[in-house]
Amino acid sequence: MVEPLDFIDALLASNSNSIVIIDEAYADFAGQTAIPLLDKYDNLIITRTFSKARSLAGIRLGVALGSPLAISKLYDVKNSFNSYCVDYVAQEVGLASINDQTLVDLNIAKIIATRNWFGKELEKLGFVITDSQTNFVFIQSPLSSAKNLYEKMYEAHIIIRYWDKPRISNWVRITIGTEEEMRNVLAFLAEFIQQEKMNNSIGIN
C-alpha cells in the first residue's frame, strides 16, 4: 500500500521540530513521490537509492533531497561519521544514469511487466499475493509454511526473504529479477507445489 501524500504532509506538519526522512527506495515503481512537499517543509529529507530502479547497486550510491537547512545538517555530521564516502567513479556513473532517464524508465517498465506476469503465474499455482508497487512480491504459499518454502528455496540456491515476525511470519518476499530468472523460480515453485500436494495426500505434512 502506498501512503497518500496527505499522510506525509500531516506527519511533517506535526513534527516540525524534527527532521523527517522519507525513504523513497521504491518510489520509482509506485509512480508517487513526496518531492512536491520539499517546497513546503524545511524539515523534510527524501532519500533515494540507485540500487533498485537504476540497477546500480554495485556503485553504492544514493541521494538525499532536502532544503538547504536540512542538507546543511547532514554536512554538519558528514565528515565525522561518514563511513560511506562516494567515490568519483560512482558520481560519474550516477550522473550518467540521471542523464539517461529513458533507459531508467524502460528498466522500470520491464521490471513492472515481469512482476505482474510473475504474480499472475504465482496465482495460477495457488499462491496468495498482495498488491505490489515495488520490485518485489509478497506472497503466501497455499500448502506449506513460509519457513518451509524459504528453506527449500535456499537449498535450491534461490534466496528470498523471510522474517519470523508477528503478522508476516507466514509470508515471503521475492525480488523480481530478469524474466529468465523468474521463469526458473516459477519452475521451481511449480515443482515445489506438486511435491507438497503429494506429501499432503500421503499425510507427511
Rounded to whole angstroms, how far apart are CA atoms 178 and 105? Answer: 16
* The binder of ligand PLP chosen from 43, 49, 114, 141 (CB under 6 A): 49
Q: Which stretch binds ligand PLP (CB under 6 A): 37-45, 47-55, 94-102, 155-163?
A: 47-55
If one asks whether residue 3 binds ligand PLP (CB under 6 A), the answer comes out as no
The closest of 16, 84, 15, 25 to 50, measured between CA atoms, is 25
* The binder of ligand PLP chosen from 10, 13, 57, 187 (CB under 6 A): 57
Instruction: Give the nearer residue to ligand PLP in terms of CB position, either 25 or 129.
Output: 25
Which residues is 129 bridged to in the sheet? Answer: 139
Question: Other C-beta atoms within 10 Å of 199: how many?
Answer: 13
Instruction: Give the nearer residue to ligand PLP in terms of CB position, either 1 or 202.
Output: 1
Q: How far is the CB of 118 from ligand PLP (least distance, A)?
A: 19
Rounded to whole angstroms, how far apart are CA atoms 186 and 192? Answer: 9
Burial of 34 (C-beta count, 10 Å sphere; 0-12/13-18/19+): buried
Q: What single-letter amino acid sits at 15?
A: N
* The binder of ligand PLP chosen from 30, 38, 62, 140 (CB under 6 A): 62
- Segment holding 136, helix H or strand E: strand 136-140
Instruction: Give the nearer residue to ligand PLP in terms of CB position, either 52 or 115.
Output: 52
Q: Which stretch binds ligand PLP (CB under 6 A): 49-57, 152-160, 171-179, 182-190?
A: 49-57
Rounded to whole angstroms, how far apart are CA atoms 98 and 109? Answer: 17
The site for ligand PLP, by CB under 6 A, has a size of 7
Tell me, what DSSP letter sits at residue 39? G
If one asks whether residue 107 binds ligand PLP (CB under 6 A), the answer comes out as no
Binding residues for ligand PLP, rule: CB under 6 A, are 23, 25, 49, 51-52, 57, 62
